[in-house]
Amino acid sequence: MKMGHLDTDIKIFQISPSFTFCNGEIGKSDFKSFMEKIPSIDLVYAALPKPENFPLWYKLANRAKIPHKQFFSGLCKIWKEINAPEYHIEVGPSNKQQVLDFFSTWKKFPNFYELDLYYSAPLNGRTKGMAKCRNPTQILIYSLHPVEIPDVKYSHEYVEQIMKRRKRMNVFDPVIGKGLLARFAQINGHNCYGIDMNYERLECTIEYIQNNLRSS
């Protein structure tokens, strides 16, 4: 694993030519060095932190909490810079309107879809198990081309299905956490890039990807 201190407030981890991750804080960190290292992105996925969970999210990352508005503004800046043809954004009732408002004022995507799901995520960073929760969530899909929407129940099943495309893609998650997108990208031969401010969670993703690279 290569680690570079390319900015004073971020750390970049290049696991392989196909996987590069960054530990930094959206809304505060300068991600210029990281963004320059990643290729053109084909698909963005993000399970956004809910405003009501924001204090706990920062506490677990051992960082001083910033206003949710500041975080979301930084996130939108990244989305704009990436300018991907396809975005899959997981939201709840408390942050759905933020996302709708941003995309309505930023860019016209001819294809828009909404899908109701239940929340799920990696049980931990070192096994294949998934924590399935009965918390309702939604996926908002914005795309320049028609998208086949999977008929699934949980968010991890959704990510698994959208990563089964035959064409090799560069995919990106700005809040990658324990690596839901990275796991299914690796299984299906895609390249994955991501950011997370919680180093312990990001370390789980890195270890999982590295272990699978060694065993392949």
Quick: pLDDT tens for 156-213.
Answer: 999 999 999 999 999 999 999 999 999 999 999 999 999 999 999 999 999 999 998 8
Apex 94 CA angle, 91 and 100, nearest 5: 60
Quick: pLDDT tens for 120-166.
Answer: 999 887 888 999 999 999 999 999 999 999 999 999 999 999 999 99
Task: Identify which has the larger pLDDT, 2 or 120.
Answer: 120
Q: What is the pTM of this model?
A: 0.94
pLDDT value at residue 212: 86
Residue 191 in tokens: 């390249």
Residue 33 in tokens: 């060095």
Residue 119 in tokens: 């929340």
HEC string of 24-53 equals CCCCCCCCHHHHHHCCCCCEEEEECCCHHH
CB atoms within 10 A of CB 104: 11
Q: Distance (Å, rounded) from C-alpha 181 to C-alpha 158?
A: 10
Q: Calculate the dihedral angle through the C-alpha atoms of 149, 152, 157, 163, rounding to the nearest 10 degrees.
A: -20
Task: Identify which has the larger pLDDT, 23 or 3.
Answer: 23
pLDDT value at residue 131: 94
Domains of the chain (ranges, CATH numbers):
2-215 (3.40.50.150)
Q: How confident is the model at residue 2 (pLDDT cuts 50, 70, 90)?
A: very low
Quick: pLDDT tens for 55-90.
Answer: 999 999 999 999 999 999 999 999 999 999 999 999
Tell me: pLDDT of 4 over 90: no
Residues 6+ apart with CB under 8 A from 205: 21, 125, 176, 177, 178, 179, 182, 194, 196
pLDDT value at residue 216: 64
